[in-house]
Amino acid sequence: MERRLRVDWIKCDGYGLCGDMAPDLIELDDWRYPILLPVPIEGGLVQDALRAVDCCPMKALVLEKKQPDRRTA
């Protein structure tokens, strides 16, 4: 099952812990807000992703099943 990380940008406050926990998946910008890297989340990276999600103080990061991109608006 393919998974992807998603940031709730309204909740995110730029603590940047996610980038420290999963540096192969998440870069941090100049203000410590996450930049999600286009890397498949598989193997050992799944654990990194879960740790990044767990450590977010704002609960702004989620790991979800990849949905086909279907926009209606």
Partner 1 sequence: MLAGPPLDGQPEPFAAHLARLGALPRFEDPGVLISALEASGLLGRGGAGFPVGRKWRAIADRRDGRAVVVANGAEGEKASLKDQVLMAHRPHLVVDGAVLAARAIGAHEIVFYVGSEHVAAVAAIGGAIHERRGEVRTPMRLVTAPISYVAGEASAAVHYINSADARPTMTPPRMSERGVAGRPTLVQNVESLASAALIARFGDQWYRSAGRCESKGTALVTLSGAVAEPGVREIELGTTLGDVVSDAGGVTSEIQAVVLGGYFGTWAALPDAWDLPLDPAVMRARGLAFGCGIVGLLPTSVCGVLATAEIMAYLADESAGQCGPCVFGLRAIADATLRIANGAARRGDLDDIGRWTAVVAGRGACRHPDGALQLLSSALDVFGDDFVGHARTGRCGITRSRVGTGAGVGVA
Q: Are 12 and 35 in contact (CB under 8 A)?
A: no
Q: How many residues bind partner 1 (CB under 8 A)?
A: 15
Of the pair 12, 25, the CB lying nearest partner 1 is at 12
Contact string (CB under 8 A) for partner 1, positions 25-44, x = contact: ----xxx-x-x---------
Pick left, alpha or beta for residue 7 (phi over 0 → left; psi -120 to 50 → alpha; otherwise beta). Answer: beta
Cα–chain center distance at 5: 4
- Shortest gap between Cβ of 7 and partner 1 (angstroms)? 7
72 binds partner 1 (CB under 8 A): yes
